[in-house]
Structure formats: C-alpha cells, structure tokens
Chains A and B, each alone.
Chain A
Amino acid sequence: MAAVAAEPTLVKKNYLTALREALIEEMRRNDQMICQGEDIGMLGGAFGVTEGLLEEFGSTRVIDAPIAEAAIIGTAVGMALNGKTVMAEMQFIDFISCGFDQIVNMMATYHYRTAGEVNLPVVVRGPAGGYGGGALYHSQMNEAWFCHSPGLRVVVPSTPYDAKGLLKAALRDGNPCIFFEIKELYRKNEIAEVLPDEDYIVPLGQAVVRKEGTDITFVSYGQSVYHCMSAAAELEKLGVSAEVIDIRTLVPLDEETIYKSLAKTNRVVVVNEAPMTCGFAGEIVARIANNAFNLLDAPPARVTRLDTPVPWVKPLELHVLPSVEKIVRVALQTAKY
C-alpha cells in the first residue's frame, strides 16, 4: 500500500487543551521553567490544565504546592530571581487575594525597585469568571486590582488560539503577568478550533476585531466578548451594525484599535463582568473620553456587573452579571442618542 502523505491535523481543540499545550510546549522549550500550584501535579490540576506535566517533567519542575497562595507567589518570585521562569497556578483566580501582598508589593515592583537589575518571568494564571453558579468565591473577575498595580501584565484570552498564543507570549515576556482564564470557556465545544501545528505566539498588547460593523463599537474581553457577539447578531436584525473588539490584554492596552473603530462608528459600549466602580470598563471609557472625545456622537456607555459580589443561585447571578439583553438595550440607547 502506498504511503499516505501526512495530512495537517485538523482536530479542533478547546480552550483548556490550548492552555495545556502551551504549558507543555513551553516546558519542553525551556528547561529552566517550573510550574507550581495546588493539586497541579498528581491530580493534574482541579480543571486538568496541567494534566501530564508531572509525568513528563518530574516533581522538581512540577510542584504540588501547599495550600498557601502567598508562598506560591513568593517562592515563584525567588525562583525567578535566581533565573527560572515560573508558572504559578491559582486554583481559582478568586484565591489570588491570599497572595496579594506578594503580587503587588513584592513581584510587581521588583523591576522598578532594582532599576531594571531584576526582571521576573512569572505568570500567575487561574480560572476566572461567572455564569457557572460558582458563587462568591469561584466567579470573580478581579483583574482591575492588578491593572491598578504598576508592573504587571494583565491578560484575558477569549479563544483557544489566543489562550495558547498569549500564554506562550506571557511566559516569554520577562515581566510578571496575571493571566485570567475563563473557566466557562475551558471545555466549550462551540469555540473549539484548529490550532497551528507550529509554534506561535499572540503578542501582548494587540486587540483584535472579532466582527466588523459600522454603527456602534463594543469593546470587551473574556467571556463578555461572546455576549457582545450575540448582542451584535440581535442588533443586526434591528438594523444596527455593531463592531466587536476583543482587547485580549488589558495591560498593555491597544488603544489604537479602539480609536480606529470609533472613527468609523462614533459610538461605544464597553462590556465586562467585573463590578462597575473602578473597573477596567471605566478605564477604557476614561481613555476614550480623554483621547477620542471628538470621535464621539454619544456618551460612552458601560455594561458591567452590578456593584455586588457574584451570588450563587442562577436568577440572582444572572441579575447582577451582564446579559445579552442588557447589552442590546444599552447599545440601542447609545445608537439612538
């Protein structure tokens, strides 16, 4: 039988698999890389993102850490200070508050304090976001805490392609990074996609236009991108053409892509699932107001979580989080202004 030429693999991969591949490939590529976190080794991670790492790389490089988020971050800083690259997993991003001092005072400031002598390639990653009934401590989007701490990259991928490419970019960047994974997307089949066989990164600081439109711009990231896409489809039926921008990285922020879109649509709604007050949606609105006021035909609007925790039971949860309906309603107001 004649040899069959190798076909490119056309298997669609989900968001979680993309992350796992990024970790495995970076661990293979960089033998100075360490992964640590709670239950990441023998169990393979609470969600399975680190499955297989312990078996391939051994317990010196894949550390089942004690339940001690501050020590996980602090020891990662020490390892990075002494030449290692570290992925530190928070089992849920909500738990990151237990490591807060080590992140904002020790890690984020290290390069600054040492006038550049020390840089820390540490990526703190973990599952984030609501809509899953996770309740107060398994649903948070607390990215604003870290955007407010100079010295940290803040990344929120929304697709498998971006999850893999951004995680690789973050691990190679050389700066500490807080990497928000959307756990509701981990195994979502609808967004699974074929990933390149070859090594690739998605550079930090580049937004992407997910859907083109002419009447109004949605600026969003993470899970909210999909809500914006659904809202855009609804609006299309009502004769409103919406453009959807996924900023992908909050720090650094690609403002140009936003302003370029506003030059066309002149109207903007910023959507995220964090509380409104001092949230990153407000930061985007402020920058637009400062830098692109002349492009606006309507006040920039926000759709965010209410200023509440994320409650457990479904009707309560949906009440406080952004929904497609809310986004459509606000978009129509903005479009008609």
Chain B
Amino acid sequence: MSVIPTTGTAAFEPLAETAESISDSRPSQLLTKEDCLEIFNQLYLARYFDIRLIKEKKRGRLRGTLYSSHNQEAILVGALFGLKSTDWISPIHRDMPAFFLKDSKFQWDDPTRSGMSIEEVCAQVWGKVGSPGRARDNWSHIGSKSKRIIHSTSMLAGTIPVAAGVVYADRMNGGDAVVLTFNGEGSTAQGIFHEAVNFAAVHKLPVVTIVENNQWAYGTPVHLGCPTPDVADRAHGYGIPGLVADGQDVFDVYDKVMAAVEHARSGKGPSIVECKTFRAYGHGDHDDDRAMKYRPNDQIEAGRTRDPIAICRQSLIERGFLSGAEAEQYIAERKSASEATNDDFPPAVVDYLNRGIEFALNSPLPDAEEGAMWVFKENA
C-alpha cells in the first residue's frame, strides 16, 4: 500500500483558507484592568532595564555593545503577553527584555515559569557564570531549551528556520505550541528569511514572524532594503497573512499578534506581523552619535514623539483603569537615559532589576579553561 499522498506532501493537513484576512477582533478589549496595569508595568520594566543598562555602560561597567530597545518596548510586551507557557520565542539583539518578559504575567519571580529570571539575564549582560550560556556568547545570544527560548546568532534571520523546525517537531509530538520569531525589517532581505518562511508556509507551521520595523537597518533606511510599501507585503508571496501593527501601541500589537497566534495555533499556518516603530538611538551604543547625523532630524523628532508608555497610559485613562494622581505618578516617557531617574519608575520595577544586578555582580566570571570546553558532546 502506497502512502504517497496525491495532493502534495505537506506533513500536516492543509486547510482551505490560506491568505484570508485574519481576525480583526480586538482581544485587547477583553483584557481586565489587572491585565492592563500589568502590561503598563511591563513597559516600565522594559524601559527601565534599557535605561539602567545605558547608564551602567556609560560608567564603563559592561563589556560588549548595547542595542537599545528604547521606544520599541510595546512590541515585546504586546507580542509576549498573550503567549502560553508552552510557546517558544526567538528574540534578537534589540530584544533583551524579551528574555525575562516571556511568561512573566503576574509571576515575575516564579522560577518555574517559561522565561528567564532577571538574575540570569543580568548575569549574561555582565558576562558572569550565572548566565544561561555561562557567558560564552555575548548579550542577546542566549536562550534556554527548557524555557523555550531559541538562541540567536549574529546572522539575524537565521533563527527563523530553527523556529520552524522546533514547531515542526512539536506538531509531530501532538503539541500546539506557537513560535514567535523577532526580526528587524533589515533581515527580511536575507535569503534565509525567504527559505524559512517558505518552509513554514508549505507545512502550515505555527510560526509568527514579528518584524520590528524601526526604519533603519544599522545605517540603511528601509526603502533600500524592501521594495514594497509595507514589509508585511512580503507575506503575499507565501500565501499567508501579513498584518501591520502600530508598534508604539502595545494593545494594537497585542491584537495583531494574538490574531496571528490563534491563526497559527489552529493549524492555519504562519503569518507575518510588521510592527511599525522607530529606533530611538544608534544601531548600538557605538553608533549613537553618528545615528543622530545619518538620520534626518525631523524623522528622529517624529519617531520619538509617540512614546509607547505615554500611549498606553492614555489608553488606560480612557478605559477608566487609571485616574488622576495615579496616572501621573511615574513619568518615564520621552526621557533619555541621562534624564531619567529611579523616581520615574515604579519601585517594584527598580527593585526587580536591582536584584538581578546584585546577583550578576556577585556571580563569578567563568574559569578560563571553560573557553575550550563543550565543543562536542562527549560520549565516552
């Protein structure tokens, strides 16, 4: 008996719909007051982490390059908030907060959650042995199989095929995990982006490709890397949905990503969610000064105007979740690292990061000999 299928060899049943426009519902409207306040706090946490690291770097305490996520926090918080603990993510260099935000809803300190502790992330930033990878590769190049975080390399779209393979295996095991891959708009020009999204589309794999379109791939503007009006238009070539979200509005990101995640989880396949944003600083901290020159001033001004913390605050006020003095308690928005102080952030956020940094400072450097270890799994 032949098992050769007559309608192609896609491993999982293809469904009738492919490129239909997916849900335009607003799941964010169903979030409770507590959920919304948690999201608001997570934005502060992501912002504070970034600002604090910039300060530490300027004081010469950190090694390596810092890729600021300032102004792009709504993408990380909004995309991650609705995930299940069995879901996977693959963050990139500008997404350091994603490591501790994953699966953190109301449980920042739960060691069993499917995300990294702030201690682990800080140990990585400080290059200490308490890092998940024992500080063998730098900054965002960490991950955890048990926490379902894929380890990236510097070849940015290179994690997308890995993500596709991870969920292929999960489907084979009968799981319903979805993977969110984070990418800049620049890396969508890479060949591996096409190969991987194509593979995911052929097999209807639950891969949601988040494109953080911050307008600049290092020193190259988006129109020199992508010929279509929206990067999400690339989805047409794969017969999959391509959504565009306002990357400054955490609730819009949440809505679009949740629609894509439900689409993926129900077996309908991958999608691309482009989140429009703007890179506040240079590509890395080494590039901050030049980035103020190669980018037009009016673009920088306009790009920084719509601060995700301010937009979230306004939404919460409109929904009656924040009022009066409560709403004006912590004004972190539109402040650079040198302008912001601890008083601009909720104490719980400051304390949380302080605990991580204290752990990192007390964690030893790895032994030099470790540099030659773990090239191979030894089977002897």
Residues of chain A whose beta carbon lies under 8 Å from any beta carbon of chain B: 34, 41-42, 54-55, 58-61, 63-66, 68, 70-71, 73-84, 101-102, 105-106, 109-119, 150-151, 153, 173-175
Given contacts A66-B199, A81-B150, A117-B145, A111 and B376 within 8 Å (CB-CB): yes
Given contacts A78-B165, A82-B169, A151 and B375 within 8 Å (CB-CB): yes
Asked if residues A68 and B199 are in contact (CB atoms below 8 Å), the reply is yes
Q: Identify 7 residue pairs between A and B in the complex whose beta-carbon atoms are under 8 Å apart, listed by A's number.
A: A65-B199, A78-B163, A79-B166, A102-B192, A110-B151, A111-B374, A151-B375
Q: What's the Cα separation between A34 and B153 when bound, in Å?
A: 25
B155 — which chain A residues lie within 8 A by C-beta?
101, 105-106
Given contacts A41-B9, A82-B169, A106-B158, A111 and B4 within 8 Å (CB-CB): no
Asked if residues A81 and B166 are in contact (CB atoms below 8 Å), the reply is yes
B159 — which chain A residues lie within 8 A by C-beta?
106
Asked if residues A75 and B145 are in contact (CB atoms below 8 Å), the reply is no
From the candidates A71, A82, A84, A114, name the one contacting B133 in the complex (CB within 8 A).
A114
Among B130-175, those with CB < 8 Å from A are 132-134, 136-137, 141, 143-146, 150-151, 153-155, 158-170, 172-173
**Would you give the shortest CB distance from B195 to chain A, in whole angstroms?**
4
From the candidates B11, B141, B151, B192, name the one contacting A71 in the complex (CB within 8 A).
B192
Q: What's the Cα separation between A110 and B370 when bound, in Å?
A: 15
From the candidates B9, B132, B167, B376, name the one contacting A59 in the complex (CB within 8 A).
B9
**Would you give the shortest CB distance from B67 to chain A, in whole angstroms?**
18
**Would you give the shortest CB distance from B174 to chain A, in whole angstroms?**
11
A174 — which chain B residues lie within 8 A by C-beta?
377, 379
Residues of chain B whose beta carbon lies under 8 Å from any beta carbon of chain A: 2-5, 9-12, 132-134, 136-137, 141, 143-146, 150-151, 153-155, 158-170, 172-173, 191-192, 195-196, 198-199, 202, 370, 373-377, 379
**Would you give the shortest CB distance from A284 to chain B, in whole angstroms?**
20
From the candidates B10, B145, B158, B375, name the one contacting A102 in the complex (CB within 8 A).
B158
Q: Is the interface of B mostly helix, strand, loop or mixed?
A: loop
**Would you give the shortest CB distance from A155 to chain B, in whole angstroms?**
14
A41 — which chain B residues lie within 8 A by C-beta?
4, 9
**Would you give the shortest CB distance from A138 to chain B, in whole angstroms?**
22
Residue of A nearest to B137 (CB): A113
Residue of B nearest to A42 (CB): B4
**Would you give the shortest CB distance from B114 to chain A, in whole angstroms?**
14
Residue of B nearest to A65 (CB): B199
Asked if residues A111 and B377 are in contact (CB atoms below 8 Å), the reply is yes
Asked if residues B158 and A59 are in contact (CB atoms below 8 Å), the reply is no
**Would you give the shortest CB distance from B64 to chain A, in whole angstroms?**
15
A-B contact count (CB 8 A): 160
Q: What's the Cα separation between A52 and B308 when bound, in Å?
A: 56
A79 — which chain B residues lie within 8 A by C-beta?
165-166, 168-169
From the candidates A75, A102, A116, name the one contacting B377 in the complex (CB within 8 A).
A116
Asked if residues A74 and B165 are in contact (CB atoms below 8 Å), the reply is yes
From the candidates A76, A106, A116, A173, name the one contacting B374 in the complex (CB within 8 A).
A116
Asked if residues B162 and A101 are in contact (CB atoms below 8 Å), the reply is no
- Contacts A71-B161, A81-B145, A81-B166 supplied; 6 other A-B pairs, CB < 8 Å: A66-B199, A68-B199, A71-B164, A71-B192, A78-B161, A114-B143
Residue of A nearest to B201 (CB): A66
**Would you give the shortest CB distance from A83 to chain B, in whole angstroms?**
6
Asked if residues A70 and B165 are in contact (CB atoms below 8 Å), the reply is no
Asked if residues B158 and A105 are in contact (CB atoms below 8 Å), the reply is yes
Given contacts A74-B160, A111-B376, A66 and B202 within 8 Å (CB-CB): yes
Given contacts A59-B3, A60-B172, A150-B375, A74 and B9 within 8 Å (CB-CB): no
Asked if residues A83 and B169 are in contact (CB atoms below 8 Å), the reply is yes
Given contacts A59-B5, A79-B169, A83-B169, A70 and B375 within 8 Å (CB-CB): no
B375 — which chain A residues lie within 8 A by C-beta?
111-112, 150-151
Asked if residues A112 and B374 are in contact (CB atoms below 8 Å), the reply is yes
Given contacts A75-B164, A76-B165, A115 and B172 within 8 Å (CB-CB): no
Q: What's the Cα separation between A80 and B12 when bound, in Å?
A: 19
A83 — which chain B residues lie within 8 A by C-beta?
169, 173
B166 — which chain A residues lie within 8 A by C-beta?
78-79, 81-82
Q: What's the Cα separation between A61 and B9 when bound, in Å?
A: 11
**Would you give the shortest CB distance from B9 to chain A, in whole angstroms?**
4
Asked if residues B145 and A118 are in contact (CB atoms below 8 Å), the reply is yes
Asked if residues B151 and A113 are in contact (CB atoms below 8 Å), the reply is yes
Asked if residues A70 and B376 are in contact (CB atoms below 8 Å), the reply is no
Asked if residues B198 and A66 are in contact (CB atoms below 8 Å), the reply is yes
Asked if residues A117 and B132 are in contact (CB atoms below 8 Å), the reply is yes
**Would you give the shortest CB distance from B297 to chain A, in whole angstroms?**
37
A60 — which chain B residues lie within 8 A by C-beta?
11-12, 172
